[in-house]
Structure 1
């Protein structure tokens, strides 16, 4: 892997290249897409991934205080508990050995007996809303750290504020596209980490934001490259 922007550098330190700012809370999206903008291949993002994308994916997880994903992504991608990694020892110093996963869900329509809820080193967080089925909320509260944010659907501003209240200020969102769109529409996105693979997909695959419109100006901060895959880091323009 090499850095090709803003300056050329062979084998950059990935943890340094993606370090969070220390002076404020920060929410980053991490997504992969094809060259024509598809966010998945045959229904899953894994078909677009590469060896370099997987390495960066793991480092971004290690840097984060919490990993956020929508329930649909958790189901489709087969999320399990985050496993401790020896390589994270330095970047997680003073924090739990793994970040918790926070699942955003309106209906609580997933298996609460799954290992994500029964075997997670850091207790899984469930973020839902008042309209979620009452009995399911009671069960979720037993198996997770439950956050209720919003009335008819999850209020993203309330959800992010609740994570901040728990000291989880370095937020990594892994999608999916609908969650990304909601966060962007609420003006909550500080950074986009986007892996772009050399592949054309076409068809009906969603883009990395799929839903509410938003217009957020970004600066291109960095581009890494490996085997034709571009790893772009865009950060929010600082006029915010």
Structure 2
């Protein structure tokens, strides 16, 4: 088999094996997750052990489970110039960002993927690597998912997070609150202007030193997981929201 072969050239079983090579349950999580990606029809999660590992209380605290789902389509969410690795990264990052916006830590996720039959194996593998690296960077375990043949590249991720604090909701905002943001606003928008050809040659020269940074902000967004948990634990914030769709 070569990387230039297409998904339609190999069977579903071989594709699943390629997924399992990347997403086996780490030894430190084996007590919590008894069956992970590709091992059975469903993942099996021991919640009592999971909660004990989160807060060390033996399951006696008031832990909250936070769940989110995000769907991404090639035509709507992935601009020209994005790499397969960045596509996989983004499919995970959007879910982690939502969980972080509630002040929770994303612990596990499932991801369903639809690929056109004539997708190259090398493209498929790079997407998987982007998914793996993003999840690993934030301590999130990919515990399962699904794959189908699709006319358009499609992802639907579901992330499960946990917090031992009161989740921060949008409804907590009140008149007179100070609005704060993490990071720098406008980088991804600038990246979109660059890749869509909306800037003149003179404008491109002016931003040459930050062009790659702006494009990375667009192609490979960085979920503010640690910041979200820290803000929630501070006790100062009344509400939080993910602004990946704009302020």
Alignment TM-score > 0.5, same fold: no
TM-score by length of 1: 0.24
Kindly indicate which of the two structures has a greater share of residues assigned to helix: 2
Kindly indicate which of the two structures has a greater share of residues assigned to strand: 1
TM-score by length of 2: 0.24
